[in-house]
Amino acid sequence: MSALVVGLSHKGTPLGTLERVALAGDALDKLLHDIARADDVAGAFVLSTCNRVEIYAEVDKFHGAVAAVCELLSRHSHVPPAELTPCLYVHYQDRAVQHLLAVACGLDSMVVGESQILGQLRQALRLARERGTLGRTLSDLGSLALRAGKRAQSETSVGAAGANLVSVGLQVAARQLAGNGLVGGDSVSPATPPPALAGKRVLVIGAGAMSGLAVASLARAAVSRLTVASRTRQRAQRLAASAGGHAVDMADVVAEMATADLVVTCTGASGHVITADMVEKASHQRAAATGLALLDLAMPRDVEPAVATLPGVTVTDLQTLAADGHPAFEPGERGISEVRRIIAEELAAHTSATRAATVTPTVVALRAKAAKVVDAELARLAGRLDRLDAATMDEVAKSMRRVTDKLLHDPTVRVKELAGGPGATSYDDALRVLFDLDPAAVQAVAQADAQLAGWPPATGQQDREER
C-alpha cells in the first residue's frame, strides 16, 4: 500500500473556503467512513486544524484514489469541485511521507515551529483508529511523524522558542489594542506575554486546548480581569480556576464584552458565536469610549465578518495573521535547517526499512523451501539406512540443518542490506528466480505476517467493507 495526501491549507486557500471545508463531529466521521470504503482506498485519517484540512489515505492506485478522495471531500463539505480543486495539493508515496513529517515538525504551519500540531495529529490518528479507518501503513507513518515532531521540539531551536498560534495572535491583538497594529518587518516573541495586555480585562470564549493556552498566556501577562465563557459551565469553571479567573455562561457574553478590552474566542461551533448585533449591544453598554479588540482563532470563524466594520472594534483572525503585513514568528534559518535535517534522517530510515521489509517474505519462503528439502533428504536417508539408531539420525539431521543455515545466512543478510537501498524490487525478484520460489508461497508469508501483527489483509472489496 502507498501513502497519499490530498489537502488544502492557509498557504493557497482563502479563509472562507478553508472554513467551509473544515469538518468536525458527525460530518468528519461520515467523511472518514466513506473515504475508507472507496475503491482503491484501504484506510484514512483526516488532519483538520485552524489552518489546514488534509486527508491521508492508504491506496492501491494513485489516479483512482485521488479522484475518489477529491469527490468525497467536495460532496461532504458542499464546496463545488470547480472552487475546491484549484486549492488542493496532492502528494504520493515518499513525497507524502515527507510532507507529513514537515507538518508534524511545524514547518508547514502558519506559525513556523508551533507545537500544537503534534496534539492535533495525535487526535486525528486516535479518531481514525476508533472509527476503524486507520490501517497499518498510516498507523506506522503516524508514529513516525509524531517521533519526528517530538525531536524537532526537543532537539532544535524551533522547539526552544515554544511558538504557537495563540501566542502570536495575542501579540498581534495587543498591538491592535494599543492602536498601533503590526506593520511589515515587525517581529514578535511568542515565548513572552505581550506587556500591552497588563492590566487589561479579557474574555476568553471556549474551553478547549487553544483556549487553555490563551488563558495560561493571559495569566502570565498579568491581566486585571480574566473571564472564561463556554457552552459547558463546568469546563469553563475548571479553566478559569486554573488562572485565578471566573466563569460565566454563554448567555452572559454580551454583558462581559461590555466591560472587556479584549475578547479571545476559539470554539468548535459551526456558526458564528459573536455577531455584529451582539457587539453593537455590548458597545452601547460600555461605560467608556475605549476600543474593543477581538482575537478569533477558530476554524470556522467564531466572529461574524461584519463585526470588523463596526466603529471602535478591531478583529484579528487567521486571515489577519496570514497577511504579509502581520508576519508570524520565524525561528530563523538555523532552526529550520535543524528540523529539515531531522526530517531527512527520519525519512531515510523509514525508506530503508520499508525497502528491506519488501524482501522479508521472499527470504522466509527461501528458508522454508530449504527446510523442506532437508526434511525430504532425511526421510530418504532414513528409508535407505534403516539400521541407523535414532541418536545417529538426530546428529545427521542437525548437521544437515547447520550446513543449510550457514549457506543461507550470508546471502539472506546481505540481500536485506541491499534491499534497504534503491533497487529493492530487483533483489526480491532475483531471489525468487535464482531459487525457483513459488510466488504464491511468498504471498502467503506476507499475509501471515500481516495477520500476526493484528492487521487485516489490505486487498479486496470485502476487506474494505469489514473496516
Active site residues: 50
Grid coordinates representing 383 are 528409508
Contacts of 188 (CB under 8 A, 6+ apart): 167, 168, 171, 172, 182, 327, 328, 329
Sign of torsion over alpha carbons 401, 402, 406, 412:
positive
The C-alpha cell of 306 is what?
A: 461584519
- Report the alpha-carbon distance of residue 158 to residue 334 in Å, rounded: 9
Residue 175 buriedness (CB in 10 A; 0-12 / 13-18 / 19+)? buried
342 and 104 Cβ atoms separated by less than 8 Å: no
Cα within 13 Å of Cα(413), Cβ side: 6
Q: Are 419 and 427 in contact (CB under 8 A)?
A: yes
Q: How far apart are CA 413 and CA 409, in angstroms?
A: 6
Burial class, 218, CB count within 10 angstroms (exposed 0-12 / middle 13-18 / buried 19+): buried
How far apart are alpha carbons 114 and 362 in whole angstroms?
A: 43
What gap in Å lies between CA 106 and CA 52, rounded to an integer? 12
Cβ–Cβ < 8 Å for 337, 105: no
**C-alpha distances in angstroms, 278 versus 272, 283, 299?**
11, 9, 20
Quote the CA–CA distance of 43 and 227 in Å, as a whole number. Answer: 43
DSSP string, 10-58: TTTS-HHHHHHH---HHHHHHHHHHHHTSTTEEEEEEEEETTEEEEEEE
Q: Cell numbers at residue 236, please?
A: 469553563
- What size, in residues, is the chain? 467
Task: Find all residues with CB under 8 Å of 219, minimum gap 6, and list them.
Answer: 226, 243, 244, 245
